[in-house]
Chains A and B, each alone.
Chain A
Amino acid sequence: MPELDDIIHQPLRLRIMAALNALPATTGLEFVKLKKLTGATDGNLGAHIETLAKAGYVAVEKAFVGKKPQTTVTATAAGRGAFARHVATLQEIIAASARQP
């Protein structure tokens, strides 16, 4: 059975990847919105986004809208692939358990 992706499996990172994967490819979420959707704190969310970015699973874009800084996070193709494999593994675990007598 394939292994779960340790980077994605952490609960908050799983929520981040789930949120980004629910959007069309190349579409990202603003940091503030991601924070609201995942229920994370600023520092916690920032740290986990950094971990995902280091793994190449998300791309982080910083820009200024007027005078306000805006951070947008987007799932990369590698991130989408890893997430799809992670979900498939979870489904496989459930299916394997159902097959056991």
Chain B
Amino acid sequence: MIDSKQAVEALTEINQIARRVRQSTIYNLASLMLIMWGVLVFAGHLVVHILPRNALLIWLAVTVLGIAGSFAISASTRARTGVRTFDARFLMAFLLFLGFGYLWTLGLGHFTARQMDTFWPLYFMLVYTIAGLWFGLAFVAIGLGVTALTLIGYFFIGDWFHLWMAVVNGGGMIVGGLWMRRN
């Protein structure tokens, strides 16, 4: 028989492993989502660079494809691990998040195209950084890294802004997703 100190140590060990497993499951799903959104955002910025007048339509298409992709990844993860992720409640939260963004950028704020293209990555990365406080430092690192590079683009990169954003925002998410998978 063991004493209470050893029992506490064993329970601590069990909790630590359980936390690592949960974090690993979250990282696995988040990395897939990040890579998928990264590819879409990368393509979106490239197309907007070529067709700037169609920006709103292009970003709407990116959003719809992203939501559909998120559902597909979630369904595949659920079939494999049994963990439910991107469900109706998550979709509702996502739509409220988008609604708030559009209310300010289009409704109340009247942002310019460049401000819009800066606001959205910063807005998404803010959520990523906050989520990182619960789910792991990788989220914080990706969130702050992409935020810093986006601000550099907004202030210092002239006409090549969308190409810059394709690399640092889309590319940043892809690299971040791959990095999460590796870790």
Contacts and interface: CB of A to CB of B under 8 A. Distances in A.
Interface of A: 1, 3-4, 9, 11, 14-15, 18-19, 21-27, 29, 33, 37-38, 87, 90-91, 93-94, 96-98
B82 interface: yes
B110 interface: no
The 7 A-B residue pairs with the shortest CB-CB distance in the complex, in nearest-first order: A97-B4, A24-B82, A22-B21, A22-B18, A18-B17, A93-B7, A18-B14
A33 B80 CA distance: 15
B83 A14 contact: no
Nearest to A26: B82
Given A14-B14, A18-B17, A97-B7, 17 more contacts: A3-B1, A15-B13, A18-B13, A19-B18, A19-B21, A21-B18, A23-B81, A23-B82, A26-B82, A27-B80, A27-B81, A27-B83, A87-B11, A90-B7, A93-B7, A94-B4, A97-B3
A96 B2 CA distance: 12
Nearest to B25: A23
A22 B10 CA distance: 15
Given A24-B83, A27-B81, A19 B17 contact: yes
Contacts of B10: 9, 14, 90
A17 to B, nearest CB: 8
A26 B80 CA distance: 10
A84 to B, nearest CB: 11
